[in-house]
C-alpha cells in the first residue's frame, strides 16, 4: 500500500465511528463503507498484561486493553497518534466492563478535533497544532453604501389660535298670509275653522183665505 506524502495536510471532519469488538457496544455507530477523508475509526486492542492473561487462560474480570484510532485519508485507513491528544487513563481500560466507557471518552476527544489539520509523519497521522483551525470560507460581502442622512426636524412654529366669531342670531319673521279675492289662503299655522250650522229661518204661517161663496152653497 502506497503511503501518503510526508507532511501532506488533512483536515479533520470530527466524525468518529467504532470498529471490531466495539460494534457490540455501539451498534448505532458502526463505521459505514464510504466515509469522507478526515474521518476517525476506533477499535479496542489488548495490552501486554491482557495478552498474558489470555495466554494463561485467566479470564476472571476480562482482559485489559487500550483504545486505538485510525484515520481515513481518502485511500486507506492510517494509524493516528491518539497518545498525543489524550492521557493514558483516558484511552486504557483494566476490564471489559470498562471498555465501553473508555471508548465513549475517546469518541468525545476525537469529536473536539473538528477543523484541525493533520500531517503524515513517521508512519502515522498527528495533529499539527501550529496550524489554526480551518474556518468556513467567508462569502464576499457587498461594499457598504452610506445611507443619506435624514434632515433635522424643523423647529416648531407657534401659531396664534384663530378666534371664532360668534354667529349672528337667527331672526324668524312672521309669515304673512296672502289673500286671493278676499279669501285667506290656508297656512300651516292657521287653525281650522269650525263648520257653520245652517241658520233656521222662521216663517209665518199663511192665512187661509176664506171663500165667501163656499158658505153660501151649503
What is the widest separation between alpha-carbon atoms in the chain? 199
Confidence at 90, pLDDT banded by 50, 70, 90: confident
Q: Which domain holds residue 39?
A: 15-112
SS3 content of the chain, % helix, strand, coil (to 5): 20, 20, 60
In a domain, 202, yes or no: no
User: Does residue 164 form part of some domain?
Assistant: no
Q: What is the pLDDT of residue 192?
A: 58
The total domain count for the chain is 1
95-116 average pLDDT score: 90
87 occurs within a structural domain: yes
How confident is the model over 106-130, as a mean pLDDT?
Answer: 91
162-182 pLDDT tens trace:
565 666 666 665 555 544 444
Q: Name the average pLDDT for the chain.
A: 75
Residue with cell 360668534: 166
Higher per-residue confidence, 171 vs 36: 36
Whether 11 shows a pLDDT value over 70: the answer reads yes
Residue 12 — pLDDT band, cuts 50, 70, 90?
very high
- Please state, for a pLDDT cut of 90, what percent of the chain lies above it: 31
Reported confidence tier of residue 104, pLDDT bands at 50, 70, 90: very high
Tell me what percent of the residues of the chain surpass a pLDDT of 70. 54
- Flag whether 32 is in a domain: yes
Would the pLDDT of 161 be above 50? yes
Residue 179 falls within a domain, yes or no?
A: no
- CA torsion 59-62-68-72 (nearest 10°) is 90
Rounded average pLDDT over 43-64: 73
Place of cell 468525545: 108
Rounded to the nearest angstrom, the gap between the alpha carbon of residue 28 and the centroid of all alpha carbons in its chain is 32
4 domain residue, yes or no = no
The region of weakest confidence among 49-58, 67-76, 149-158, 184-193 is 184-193
Q: Is 146 domain-assigned?
A: no
Within-domain flag for 46: yes
Amino acid at each position: 500500500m502506497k503511503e501518503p506524502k510526508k507532511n501532506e495536510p488533512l483536515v479533520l471532519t470530527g466524525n468518529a465511528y467504532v470498529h471490531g469488538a466495539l460494534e457490540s457496544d455501539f451498534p448505532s455507530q458502526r463505521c459505514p463503507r464510504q466515509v469522507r477523508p478526515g474521518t476517525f475509526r476506533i477499535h479496542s486492542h489488548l495490552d501486554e498484561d491482557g495478552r498474558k492473561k489470555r495466554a494463561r487462560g485467566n479470564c476472571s474480570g476480562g482482559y485489559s486493553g487500550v483504545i486505538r484510532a485510525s484515520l481515513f485519508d481518502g485511500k486507506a485507513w492510517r494509524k493516528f497518534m491518539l497518545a498525543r491528544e489524550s492521557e493514558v487513563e483516558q484511552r486504557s481500560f483494566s476490564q471489559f466492563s470498562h471498555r465501553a466507557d473508555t471508548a465513549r471518552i475517546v469518541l468525545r476527544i476525537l469529536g473536539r478535533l473538528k477543523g484541525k489539520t493533520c500531517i503524515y509523519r513517521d508512519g502515522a497521522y498527528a495533529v499539527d497544532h501550529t496550524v489554526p483551525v480551518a474556518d468556513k470560507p467567508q462569502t464576499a460581502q457587498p461594499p457598504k453604501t452610506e445611507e443619506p442622512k435624514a434632515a433635522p426636524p424643523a423647529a416648531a412654529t407657534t401659531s396664534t389660535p384663530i378666534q371664532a366669531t360668534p354667529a349672528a342670531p337667527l331672526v324668524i319673521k312672521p309669515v304673512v298670509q296672502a289673500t286671493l279675492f278676499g279669501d285667506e289662503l290656508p297656512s300651516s299655522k292657521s287653525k281650522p275653522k269650525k263648520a257653520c250650522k245652517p241658520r233656521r229661518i222662521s216663517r209665518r204661517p199663511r192665512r187661509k183665505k176664506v171663500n165667501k161663496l163656499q158658505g153660501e152653497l151649503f
